[in-house]
Structure formats: C-alpha cells, structure tokens
Amino acid sequence: MSSLTFYGGVREIGGNKILVEDGGRRVWLDFGMSFSQSGRYFAEFLQPKKYNGVLDFLEVGLLPRLPDMGGFYRQDYLAHSGMETWDGAAYDGVFLSHAHADHSFYIHFLRREIPIYASEVSRQIMAAIETTSSSGFADFLNFKETFKLRPKKAGEGLMRVRGEESKLERDFRVIQEGEKVFIGDIAIEALAVNHSLPGAMGFIVHTSAGAVVYTGDLRFHGYGGDLTARFARKAAEAQPIALICEGTRIDEEAGLSEQDVQDRVGDVVQRTRNLVIANYPWKDIERMRSFYEVARTSGRRLALSLKQAYLLKLLEGTDAGAPSLDDDHVAIYIDRKDWGLITKPGYPRDIVEQDYEAWEREFLGYPNAVTCEDIHRDQGDFMVRIDFFDLTDLIDIRPAEGSCYIRSVTEPLDEEAEIELERAENWLKHFGLYPYHQIHASGHASGLEIKRLIAEIGPKVVFPVHTENPERFIDIVPGGMRVVIPEAGKKYTI
C-alpha cells in the first residue's frame, strides 16, 4: 500500500513536508520551514529556545508530532528534553527539491544518519547558508552535536563540547539530474526545473501504486533553458496517478520574465549617470546574471556582497551558471564592519581582518575587492547590491545626485513586510533615491501556466500544495480529474 501525508505546505506558501510511504519504507519530499506558522508565534526577539531542542517547535506545530519521532529527530535534542530516542533511524531519507528555507531548513532537526538527497548546487547553497548565517538552527551539512560534555584535557572536571570539536558530518547525498534513487520498492527520479535559485528539481516518485509527481517550486522562464517544460514532458510519460502541485500564484496572471527584468534594468541603467544600487535576493543567481549582463554591456562593474562572493566560490565548477568571481565586470564590495578599519590607513592586515568572520577574510585580498570609498569615487562605474539590512551602508557610500535604486524583490506580502518597505523608503528619500524602480520576476508559474502543466502531465488526482488558495485548482483541472485538497497530518492512500 502506498500513501501520502502532508505535514506542511497545506493552505500555506511553503513549509512543505510530504511523507511518502510504500511497502514499509518512508521518505520525505522536502522538510521546510513554514514562514506563516513561524510568524504566528515568533518574531525577531521572540525565538524558540535552544535548550528546548525540538519542544518549542513541536509545541506550536512548526515540527510535526510523528509516530516514531525517537527515530527521526536528532538524538541530542530529544535526549536533552527527556524524550525517547531510538538506536536506529525510523525514516529512510529526505529529498530536497531546492535550497529555499521553506523546503529545506528543518533538516537541521533530523538525526544525522537519515540521508538527505539534493542536487550538487543545492548542497553548495546550503553550505553557504550554514557558514554565513548566524542562526543556531542551521546544521545542514555539518551536524554540531549539542549538550555534550567531555573531560578536560588538562586537570580535573568537564567542559562543554563546542565549535569545530562538536562537528559531525551529516549523510548528505548528491543526486544527479535524471538519476533514480531506489529505496525499497520506491524509486525517486530527480529532474531539474527552473526556479528563482539554481539547482531546483522536481521529482517523479515511482511507488508500487504508480507514479507520483512532485513539482517542488517552478517557473517557465529563466536562463536555464526550458527545464520545466522538459520536466512536464517526462512527468507525463510516467502516466502518474497523482500530482503534488505548487500553486503559489494560482490566482495571478503571467508577470515579467527574467529576460524582461534584464531589459528593464538595462533601460534604467542607461539613463543613470551615477551609482546604480540594487536589492535582489542574494541566492538568486539568475537575477545576479540579469544584473551582471547589464553591468557588462553598460561598462560597469557589478559589486557583490561578501555573502554572494562566498556563494560564487562554492558554486565554481557546478552548473549553476553563475558569473565568475574574477570577471572584469565583477567586484567584491567589502563593506565596513565592527571597527570599520578597511578604509582606515595604517592598520596591519591581521588587525583589519578581525573586523570580519573567518569565511569573509580571504576576499579582502582579492584584486577586485572594493570599499565604500572606491564606489563613492567612481559612482558611474558601479552597480552595487545593498539589501534592506545594509541600508546604513548608504551613509558610507554617499550616492551622488543622478544615482538610482532598483528594487528587484517581491512586493510586500504581509503587514510586517510593508512596514519594512516603508523604512527602506525613508532611507531612499533621505538619499535622493526616491522614487525607486520596482523590477522583479517571480520564481513561480502563473495560474494559466499551472493549468497547462496539470493538463499536460495528466494525473488522476491533483494535490495542491504551497498555496493559500487550493480550491482554485478545482476550477482549472480538466474534466474527469480529481482535486484532493490535503488536510495536514491526514494519510491519503493512493
């Protein structure tokens, strides 16, 4: 018997956690964080407590209470909370469609021997997030064993095991595009799709009851070619019994494509004499490429943040399609931190380095490293990425008259995001960068595209996920096809 149970992504955008059971085997499609559920209980200074392990997350429903939890969640957390832990793993693996938080972040809470399957690009993005994030819940590739004591090396007594010493490797396995992974009677086939970050995949899960297709998140445009169209063809060939389909933009019409973004950014930059400042998602390599292409054709240099530079370093040699770090039109913007010594003459390198995290330091020595002073001096030569949390950098850079600001992220989706935008607007007004340009293309297919996708794949049943409006699917599926709107935690036999 095969079944599907949806523990996340139900009537919400993201937080996907879908359990596939077949012949005694249990695998997960994604294990992501739900922003909406998290926002209901937590805020910047109201956070789950580390000492409670998984308890705070279970309490408010961010992590599901599962049968056999003792063989699923990490033993260090369970044991510290006095919960049951098993000797072996009770689940067989987690397949990550892509590295966005709402699909992948909660693997942090899983015991380390449960295999995590993802594309090489997803693995590198998660490595970059793990290294650069300040969150205490980002053990993706490295599993930092917590709440452990060991005897002191010299003298009596005990000490806490921390840092490098606590690091163990997770069983993280790279799957190639087109590869099939066999787990008991289940075969999971991974296929690349277009999305707003590289390395995204959809899955065809071959169960004993038939094929189940999972879209992950996808769109039909982008520079990666027609990956999503190819995914749809392959999915149709499998003659699936079920399709688990994302519906983020089920109510929306087609918007801009990535190429449109590049064209419009190009127009704005052509009309800009001085500095071009942009905010776009740091992991969205396609967006980076759109800005990079404009920089290249307009004779500017695209100044990347340190985080982006680190990500590009990890993505070297992958098929992510990222610009090269040593390209003539790429610069690395070393923003001032801590004591701000990067722009103060006379300090030895090792002292300056102390303003930066270990992973940031090597970029200080790159020939294309630039500071706020370089950008201030040659404003017409740069396009620089400044995101919301770096807006104070405008004080260091001092954009001259004739500069512009391009906002290349999604429109605010909730009240909190609206307040954030208002704050950003105050900064932009203060520096004469208002009105700004809003130029963005979504990472998700439109309602019409989803309708066509479902018709082409032709499953018997559609399970809408990753949408606030699953009912809309009932209106758009072809006659004879059934829509089952999943309820959280309910098991559906297929």
- Binding site residues, Zn ion, CB under 5 A: 14, 100, 102, 217
Place of tokens 């972040």: 105
Query: Closer to Zn ion at the Cβ: 70 or 281?
Result: 281
The distance of closest approach from Cβ of residue 436 to Zn ion in the complex, given in angstroms and rounded to an integer, is 25
Query: Closer to Zn ion at the Cβ: 15 or 399?
Result: 15
Kindly give, in sequence order, each residue whose CB lies less than 8 Å from that of residue 376, ignoring residues fewer than 6 positions away: 396, 397, 398
Query: Closer to Zn ion at the Cβ: 217 or 335?
Result: 217
Structure tokens at 185: 């009677």
Query: Closer to Zn ion at the Cβ: 14 or 281?
Result: 14
Query: Closer to Zn ion at the Cβ: 100 or 336?
Result: 100
Structure tokens at 101: 């938080």
Contact call for residues 256 and 262 (beta carbons, < 8 A): no
Place of tokens 């950098």: 393
Distance between the two ends of the chain, CA-based, in angstroms?
Answer: 8
The distance of closest approach from Cβ of residue 103 to Zn ion in the complex, given in angstroms and rounded to an integer, is 5
What sign does the CA torsion over 270, 271, 274, 278 have?
negative
The distance of closest approach from Cβ of residue 466 to Zn ion in the complex, given in angstroms and rounded to an integer, is 6
Q: What is the 3-state secondary structure (H, E, C) of 428-467?
A: HHHCCCCCCEECCCCCCCEHHHHHHHHHHHCCCEEEEECC
User: What is the rounded distance in angstroms from the CA atom of residue 271 to the CA atom of residue 427?
Assistant: 22
The distance of closest approach from Cβ of residue 134 to Zn ion in the complex, given in angstroms and rounded to an integer, is 22
Query: Closer to Zn ion at the Cβ: 433 or 445?
Result: 445
The distance of closest approach from Cβ of residue 198 to Zn ion in the complex, given in angstroms and rounded to an integer, is 11
The distance of closest approach from Cβ of residue 193 to Zn ion in the complex, given in angstroms and rounded to an integer, is 10
Longest dimension (CA), the chain: 76
Strand partners, 438: 407
Q: Which of 429, 424, 421, 372 is nearest to 398 (CA)?
A: 372
Q: How far out from the chain centre does Cα 333 lie?
A: 23
Strand partners, 382: 301
The distance of closest approach from Cβ of residue 369 to Zn ion in the complex, given in angstroms and rounded to an integer, is 31
Query: Closer to Zn ion at the Cβ: 130 or 425?
Result: 130
Which secondary-structure segment (H or E) carries 360?
helix 358-361
Residue 404, φ and ψ in degrees, nearest 5 = -140, 165
The distance of closest approach from Cβ of residue 419 to Zn ion in the complex, given in angstroms and rounded to an integer, is 23
Query: Closer to Zn ion at the Cβ: 280 or 356?
Result: 280
